[in-house]
Amino acid sequence: MRQNGISVVRTRKYKATTDSNHKFNVAPNLLDRDVNADAPNQKWAGDISYIWTREGWLYLAVILDVHSRPVIGWAVSNRMKRDLAIRALKMAIAFRQPPKNCIHHTDRGSQYCSHDYQKILRQHGFKVSVSGKGNCYDDAAVETLFKTITAELIWRQSSETRRQAEMAIFEYINGFYNPRRRHSALGWKSPVAFERTVA
C-alpha cells in the first residue's frame, strides 16, 4: 500500500440507530433477502445512518428503490425520531407516486414501526416488510449506500456544522450518486441511466 500511495481510511465514532426494544407491531419479512426487482417501484428499502459534526450528530434517513438503487427520499435531523423517517418517506412518495403493493422494507426500529409511519404506509397501499431480529442482510442495498456515502463523502471531509453536512449530502445525492455514480450491480451504469434503459 505504501509503494502505491494508498492510505487507510480509519473508522470513526459509532452510534446505534435501531431501537427494536418497543411494543409496536412488527410486520413479517416479505423481502427475505431477495434484493432484486424487475422494475422500479416494486421494492423500496429504508434505514437511518449518522454523521458526526463538530456541533454533534446529524441523522440521515433514506428511502431507495431496490431496482436501480437511487435515493428517492431522504431527510436529516439532529434527533433520531419518527418525524425524520416520515419526512424521507413523504419525499419518496411525492417523487415516485408508487403503485399499490410496492414492498416497503426496513429494520425493526421504533421509527418505522410507529403508528404514524405505519398509517402512511397503509394509506398508500404498501406491503410492509421488516427485517428479522439482528438480520442485516435484508437491508443490504441500503447498507451498501451508507457505506458508499461514508467512504466517498463523510470520511473525506469533516463538517463544522450540521448545516454544512446537510448541504454536502444534498450535493452528493443529487449531483453525483443518483445521476452519475456507476454501480457494478447495474452494469456500470448510474441509477438514473439504468432506469432509462428499462423505461
Share above pLDDT 70 across residues of the chain, in percent, rounded to a whole number: 88
> In this structure, are residues 189 and 182 in contact, taking their beta carbons and an 8 Å threshold?
yes
> In this structure, are residues 158 and 136 in contact, taking their beta carbons and an 8 Å threshold?
no
Question: Which of 191, 80, 101, 81 shows the shortest CA–CA distance to 141?
Answer: 191
Check residue 75 and give its pLDDT: 98
Check residue 99 and give its pLDDT: 96
Q: Given this structure, which CATH class describes domain 43-198?
A: alpha beta
C-alpha cell at 151: 467512504
C-alpha cell at 68: 436501480
- Which pairing describes strands 56-65 and 71-77: parallel, antiparallel, or unpaired? antiparallel
Check residue 175 and give its pLDDT: 96
- 28 pLDDT above the threshold of 80: yes
For the chain, list the strands marked E by DSSP: 43-53, 56-65, 71-77, 103-106, 127-130
Check residue 14 and give its pLDDT: 44
pTM: 0.85
Q: Give me the helix-helix angle, 140-152 and 162-172, nearest 10°.
A: 110
33 pLDDT tier (thresholds 50, 70, 90): confident
Write down the domain spans for the chain.
Answer: 43-198
- 128 pLDDT above the threshold of 70: yes
Check residue 135 and give its pLDDT: 65
